[in-house]
Amino acid sequence: MKAEVSSEPHERKESRDKVYNQVEVSKKDRSIAVERSAEVKALDADYFAVKDQIPTGFKLEEEYQKSRKRILQVLGGSEEDWDSYKWHLKNRIGKVEVLERIVHFSDEEKKQIEKASKGYRWSISPFFASLMDPDDKNCPIRMQAIPSILEELDSSEIKDPMIIKYNSPAPLISRLYPDRVIINVTNACSMFCRHCLRRKDIDYKDVTYPRRLLDQAIEYVRENEEIRDVLLTGGDALSLSNSQLDYILTKLDKIPHVEIKRLGSRMPCTLPQRITPELCEMLETHDPIYLNTQFNHPKEVTREAQKAVDMLTKCGVIVRDQTVLLNGINHNPHIMKKLMQELLKIKISPYYIFNCKKVEGIRHFRTTIADGLNIIEHLRGYTSGMAVPTFIITAPEGRGKTPIYPQYLLNPNVDGEPLIRTWGGHILQYPDEHQPNGSPNGIMGNEE
Ligand code: SF4
């Protein structure tokens, strides 16, 4: 019988076997690894026990379909209408008599809604209304959309936490940072979030600012060569028509020092039908564009949002999330973790968690800085690093975003080495690099 001769050169086989052997570990090492794996798994046992009970947009698809049918009936719309963002904008729900045919509330609540809505306009896109639980007044979607009497009872006096008047060097411009500015292009939104910090600008009528003011804002950008990043927001930047947006983006593209444009829009969450092929085709001509959106609960991460984000990413728009930390809605580490994981599934990158600002009418949504830190503690290490946004508090007097982190560096110099706390709670000395004077990185060396 003829022996089989391997055609593989001897040296290549040897080197391949060496790599295989490196992957193999001894029984003892394997058993240590198995123990360690069990240890890290146990660290998040609380979350694993509840994660499947947290409602998400994908799990609730059937309920959402039923609500859609009910809302179409109430508003006299067709399935075709449901796919049209213009229909949703035209049919925003802003009357208690209409809302009570979609979700259930008592006569007392009805009176309270009417009373509370005197301070701040309310209006809900039929799409966002279809995500509401008709029977649960604590539904996180309802709490974000329906006026609460608690708004009326809040007597905090802060109406403009950003002190826009001190930060607006030109019409429609807000400037808090060296190399970027905001242009506030409209006060309109597909729905008026109850926690909105810009509620003082929302007023009772949708306004798109005149071209004269937009041109002055763009002129300011042109005259200030250090501005490389321009955010169009409001309100919601996607409340503008495609041609209005195209006009502004084209002008910005002609300014050589503007490197990137950003759009601030909640519509991927609250009215995903706004993301149309025509919009995407136009945005693609203004590359690079980033879209910062806002999802606050896993129930908002829907099939429709996924489709919208897919369309945006295919035309090169990068979508990132800025969640607001809201008492009673998401101030819970498990809910926040699920939200971040659901966002990654539909290719939205978690960017910020904002502490809710102190603005008149939204006190009941505010939590503490400790709540925010606790959430970050339960994200870092416990889930993908990409699912860990930066926790931000906005400094008083319009002084900008301030990142707040849990403390992992316990003591920068214990016996010449820093002491660290790992995400899983181990306290360890870290072998830092030493500079010639003997101190780690020369930072803590004794001064002579
Ligand atoms: S979409 Fe944004 S600007 Fe509009 S109401 Fe909601 S938070 Fe405010």
pLDDT band with cut points at 50, 70 and 90 for residue 397: confident
| Ligand 1 atom index nearest CA of 189 | 4
The reply to whether ligand 1 has any atom less than 6 angstroms from the CB of 279 is no
Nearest to 65 by CA among 118, 127, 16: 127
Q: Strand order of the sheet with strand 390-394?
A: 173-174, 180-184, 229-233, 260-264, 289-293, 318-325, 349-355, 390-394, 401-403
Written as six digits, the tokens of 364 are 């009941």
Share of the chain above pLDDT 90, in %: 74
Q: How many Å apart are CA 274 and CA 345, to the nearest integer?
A: 21
Q: Where are the beta strands (DSSP E) in 185-252?
A: 229-233
Q: How far apart are CA 192 and CA 196, in angstroms?
A: 7
Q: How buried is 15 (Cβ within 10 angstroms: 0-12 exposed, 13-18 middle, 19+ buried)?
A: exposed
Q: Which residues pair with 420 in a beta bridge?
A: 409, 428
Signed CA dihedral, 381, 393, 238, 206: sign only: positive
Ligand 1 neighbourhood includes 391 CB (under 6 angstroms): no
Q: What is the DSSP letter of 423?
A: T
Q: What is the mean pLDDT of the chain?
A: 91
The answer to whether residue 403 scores a pLDDT higher than 70 is yes
Tell me, yes or no, if the pTM score tops 0.75. yes
The pLDDT value given to residue 364: 93
266 lines ligand 1 (CB under 6 A): yes
Residue in 139, 253, 200, 188 with CA at minimum distance from that of residue 362: 200
For ligand 1, atom 5, which residue shows the shortest CA distance? 192
In the DSSP assignment, the letter for residue 235 is S
Contacts for 430-433 with beta carbons within 8 Å, 24 or more apart? none
- Each residue's pLDDT tens digit, 291-306: 999 999 999 999 999 9
Query: 235 in ligand 1 pocket by Cβ < 6 Å?
Result: yes
In this structure, of 11-20, 62-71, 329-338, 361-370, the range with the lowest mean pLDDT score is: 11-20
- CATH class of the domain defined by 164-403: alpha beta
Answer yes or no: is pLDDT of 421 > 50. yes
Counting from 1 in the atom list of ligand 1, the atom nearest the Cα of 192 is: 5
Residue ranges covered by each domain of the chain: 61-153, 164-403, 407-448
Nearest CA owner, ligand 1 atom 7: 196
Can you tell me the distance from the alpha carbon of 436 to that of 441, in angstroms, rounded to the nearest whole number? 9
Section 212-233 average pLDDT: 98
The answer, yes or no, to whether any atom of ligand 1 lies below 6 A from the CB of 196, is yes
Model confidence at 117, in pLDDT bands (50, 70, 90)? confident
Give distance in angstroms: CA of 314 to centre of ligand 1: 26
- Identify the residue whose C-alpha is closest to ligand 1 atom 6: 193
pLDDT value at 208 more than 90: no
Q: Is ligand 1 within 6 A of the CB of residue 92? A: no
The answer, yes or no, to whether any atom of ligand 1 lies below 6 A from the CB of 268, is no
